[in-house]
Amino acid sequence: SAVISQKPSRDICQRGTSLTIQCQVDSQVTMMFWYRQQPGQSLTLIATANQGSEATYESGFVIDKFPISRPNLTFSTLTVSNMSPEDSSIYLCSAENGAVGTEAFFGQGTRLTVV
């Protein structure tokens, strides 16, 4: 199993500012992902964080708005840039080892409110 520490757990930010969320895994993992989850809603994949290369973004998400870093096999960051109230959501980091059928582990999430 893998334990994921995600920081901060929550934040209230002013519109127009940026917030960087950190995700630390206690073991090396192949795949790391960033999701957004509105309260009471399902998970929407933002991007796959690739170690040593640019992240792979899903439709509707762009690097300028959600820059992602993954410098090694245990750590990734997601930045929410130039925030607006529409960015208020829960952001979740996930990790798995890429073999078919293996478990995806999740951090506790970052609850972001933009005012």
Partner 1 sequence: QKEVEQDPGPLSVPEGAIVSLNCTYSNSAFQYFMWYRQYSRKGPELLMYTYSSGNKEDGRFTAQVDKSSKYISLFIRDSQPSDSATYLCAPLGDSNYQLIWGAGTKLIIKP
Binding site for partner 1 (CB under 8 A): 4, 6, 31, 40-45, 48, 92, 94, 96, 98, 100-101, 103-109, 111
In whole angstroms, the minimum distance from the beta carbon of 62 to partner 1 comes to: 19
Rounded to a whole number of angstroms, the minimum distance from the CB of residue 14 to partner 1 is 24
The secondary structure of 77-105 as a DSSP string is EEEE-S--GGG-EEEEEEEE--STTPPPE
Q: Which is nearer to partner 1, 39 or 52 (CB)?
A: 39
Helix (H) or strand (E) holding 37: strand 31-37
Select 12 or 104, whichever has its Cβ closest to partner 1: 104
Q: How far is the CB of 16 from partner 1 (least distance, A)?
A: 27
Instruction: Point out which residues pair with 106 in neighbouring strands.
Output: 94
The residues, any chain, with a CB within 8 Å of residue 25's CB and separated by 6 or more, are 2, 3, 4, 5, 32, 73, 74, 75, 95, 105
Q: Which is nearer to partner 1, 31 or 81 (CB)?
A: 31
The dihedrals phi and psi of 86, each to the nearest 5 degrees, come to -65, -15
Is the CB of 3 or the CB of 18 nearer to partner 1?
A: 3
Considering the complex, what minimum distance in angstroms separates the CB of residue 35 from partner 1? 8
